[in-house]
Structure 1
Amino acid sequence: MKTVVGNSWQISRRSLFTLAVVSGTLLTPLSVEISNAATPSAELLTQKTVSSATSLRIEDLPAGFEEIPSAFKPQIAAYLSDFVPLLTKQNLQINDYFVYVNRDTLEVVSGFTTTIPNQPLSLLRFDANLRQVAQPQYWQQLFTKLQPQISVAAKLLEHRPNRLNVGNSSAGATLAIGALNQKAQVDVGSFRRGNVGVFTAVMSLNRSTPQASLQDLATKLDNRIVQATANSRGQRSEVRVRN
């Protein structure tokens, strides 16, 4: 019995790790068109304050989720460090990368934030890139591009647009993916609030309705960005007054 349980747990661990890798790598190409231009020094305080206060937290998730085991983190980071230059063709700064798992339901919530240069052209490029999420051919091309880089076979089975009602601009999609001889559902989305870009996904095995709602999580992140930005502006105003 212990052997059966042990083997089952190993399969569960492998499934969770694969879900985390696949969902993480699906997020990075959403920012292909983000400019890598230098950001004015006057915005550095805002960026630092916002990025440290906008991560998804464990209390934002339904009961049963936990942070990914620390043993997996170096592997996830290694995958992302390889994928970001491959898919974006630039050094994209990732802030607050998060991964949470539910071992009972085999769900993974992952995502990250990035700071967009606060320039009209950069913001327009980001918004234009969001519209790709609604196009099935974009995901077909992405899977073809990613396949040599992923250690397990994965293919896109279905695509449905799934609009997010958050931020200044947003887009989302629900994907059905075949991997590990199972069917996984991925709710993936991205939005922009000011010059902060957010990419997040909820990936699940054997569940048509994930326990974690992408819309709910995106709303919590959006509210947190709004609050962090307001706090940052207050700090800058206080610094000016003191000077």
Structure 2
Amino acid sequence: MKTGVNDSLQVSKCRRRSLFTVAVVTSTLLTPFSVEILNAATPSTVQLAQKTVSPATTTLRVEDLPAGFEEIPSAFKPQLAAYLSNFVPLLTKQNLQINDYFVYVNRDTLEVVSGFTTTIPNQPLSLLRFDANLRQVEQPQYWQQLFTKLQPQIGVAAKLLEHQPNRLNVGNSSAGATLAIGALNQRAQVDIGSFRRGNVGVFTAVMSLNHTTPQASLQELATKLDSRIVQATANSRGQRSEMRSLVK
């Protein structure tokens, strides 16, 4: 009986390590991917625009996900935050504004959903650059170069096995890709994508160690986020219009 309990605990520890690794690799991909796109969209002399919508109204919530998902355990958050903080200085000198960072996990399926929103300078050139940069997501060579660039910092031997474009149908502009990654003698699938609605940029990813189709659909999650941004923007405009009427 004792041996059975020990074996069960060992399996549980292995699953927790795998879960954290999945979260790390997913966030490792998502963070530099977004920074490089935003870096090109934002001239170094331009400060990010003021928020036009409240971050609390545009984030992905746990109730948006299939049953079984929860926020990443609090014990992992300091490790993950410290890990990710190493990447931004490697890729850009700009003070880019990242809002609403979220990570949700399913302990049973070892599936991770992560992402965040950001504010893009509300200027035509910056918006055009952001849209143009989204196209590189669909190019296999972009991901090969990104893996090579980040491998020394990842801390996990990860290799890009496959890539295929997976365009999102959402926002004013969008792009996505499905990646197959080899890590820790396992094969992981990552659906990763980005879109822009107005001057709000969204980056999100779904990663699973299973060989089955992920429970969380990137398209469905992006659609929920897009609808929330549209509604929040409309509410914000209505409030500003009401304030102007009161001033008059």
Fold equivalence (TM over 0.5): yes
Say if 1:58 and 1:65, in contact at 8 Å, map to a contact too.
Answer: yes
In structure 2, relative to structure 1, the CA distance for the partners of 1:141 and 1:206 (3 Å cut) is same
Q: Which runs of structure 1 show a deviation greater than 4 angstroms over 4 or more consecutive aligned residues?
A: none
Pick from 163, 174, 198 the counterpart of residue 170 of structure 1: 174
Say if 2:48 and 2:97, in contact at 8 Å, map to a contact too.
Answer: no
User: In structure 2, how many angstroms separate the alpha carbons of the residues matched to 1:78 and 1:233?
Assistant: 37
User: In structure 2, how many angstroms separate the alpha carbons of the residues matched to 1:8 and 1:55?
Assistant: 33
Q: Which residue of 2 aligns with 1:24?
A: 27
Q: Greater Rg, structure 1 or structure 2?
A: 2
SS in 1 for 2:181: strand
Q: For structure 1, which runs of at least 5 residues remain unmatched after alignment?
A: none
1:16 Cα shift? Answer: 1.1
Cα shift readout 1:140-180 (whole Å, capped 9, x = no counterpart): 01011111111211010000100100000000000000011
* Higher mean C-alpha deviation, range 18-27 or range 154-163: 18-27
User: In structure 2, how many angstroms separate the alpha carbons of the residues matched to 1:180 and 1:39?
Assistant: 39
Q: Which residue of 2 aligns with 1:220?
A: 224
1:45 Cα shift? Answer: 5.4
Cα shift readout 1:88-110 (whole Å, capped 9, x = no counterpart): 34222110000000011110000
Report % sequence identity.
79
TM-score (norm 1): 0.94
Q: Which residue of 2 aligns with 1:241?
A: 245
User: In structure 2, how many angstroms separate the alpha carbons of the residues matched to 1:130 and 1:88?
Assistant: 17
SS in 2 for 1:52: helix
Q: Which residue of 1 aligns with 2:16?
A: 13
Task: For 2:149, give the aligned amino acid.
Answer: K
In structure 2, relative to structure 1, the CA distance for the partners of 1:188 and 1:106 (3 Å cut) is same
In structure 2, relative to structure 1, the CA distance for the partners of 1:177 and 1:89 (3 Å cut) is farther
Q: For structure 2, which runs of at least 5 residues remain unmatched after alignment?
A: none
Q: Which residue of 1 aligns with 2:90?
A: 86
How many matched pairs? 238
Say if 2:69 and 2:106, in contact at 8 Å, map to a contact too.
Answer: yes
User: In structure 2, how many angstroms separate the alpha carbons of the residues matched to 1:84 and 1:52?
Assistant: 24
In structure 2, relative to structure 1, the CA distance for the partners of 1:224 and 1:99 (3 Å cut) is same
Q: Which residue of 2 aligns with 1:34?
A: 41
In structure 2, relative to structure 1, the CA distance for the partners of 1:183 and 1:153 (3 Å cut) is same
Cα shift readout 1:82-139 (whole Å, capped 9, x = no counterpart): 2122233422211000000001111000001100000011111111110010000000
Pick from 4, 7, 19 the counterpart of residue 4 of structure 1: 7
User: In structure 2, how many angstroms separate the alpha carbons of the residues matched to 1:58 and 1:207?
Assistant: 23
Q: Which residue of 2 aligns with 1:74?
A: 78
Question: What is the root-mean-square deviation in Å for CA atoms of aligned residues?
Answer: 1.3
TM-score (norm 2): 0.92
Pick from 146, 149, 152 the counterpart of residue 148 of structure 1: 152
User: In structure 1, how many angstroms separate the alpha carbons of the residues matched to 2:76 and 2:86?
Assistant: 16
